[in-house]
Amino acid sequence: MDILLIGGHGKVALLLAPLLAERGDHVDSVIRFSDQADAVRAAGAFPVVGDVEQASTEDLASLAAGHDALVWSAGAGGGDPMRTYAVDKDAAIRSIDAARAAGVHRYVMVSYFGSSLDHEVPAGSPFFPYAEAKAAADAYLRASDLAWTIVAPSALTLEPATGHIDADAPAAGSVSRADVAAVVAGVLADPSTIGKTIAFNTGDIAIREALAQA
């Protein structure tokens, strides 16, 4: 599978790329800065420098062309509300339109546990712009005709991979970034996850089994 990974220098993406490369997938990782290229190569992916915040739909479609799937793992990283909306909402939505324009039907969005248009995050909270942005992008993806999956982990940790999750938890807990990467790799290989939002914590069920039951 040829995969375009947007946000290729992120912590989850750098853990995801080796999993994909090891099973024979080709991964093009989109990064903002050329000095991030060595880390991407070391992870087994091919660096592509591009600023998705500034890229047009046409620019993103050119990047997506020829790939079998697009994975959105980019984010503004918080702090600046305007940039959060620009990246986590506007650029993400442009990438969805770009995937459609380029004929890339499979799309995996990395979101967060609880993302929803009725998220109930108070407007005065510093998390509010992110909650609004992700909810809008997720809703746009769900309304598209793409073969989408939304991966929605709870609070991220730097713990080692466990290979196990809980995809049936009623409330958010935490999960390692390594297990998030494994979930993204898993959904790309499992067409039964198409059209599903998979919200999860760390847990006791093997990832492959949890995805099959989601």
Q: Show which residues are catalytic.
A: 130
Which parts of 65-206 fold into alpha helices (H)?
A: 81-84, 92-102, 128-142, 177-188
Q: Give φ, ψ of 199 to 5 degrees.
A: -95, 135
3: Cα separation from own chain's centroid = 12
Query: What's the CA angle centered on 166, arms 171 and 27, to 5 degrees?
Result: 110
Give residue 163's region: left, alpha or beta (phi > 0; psi -120 to 50): left
What size, in residues, is the chain? 214
Longest dimension (CA), the chain: 46
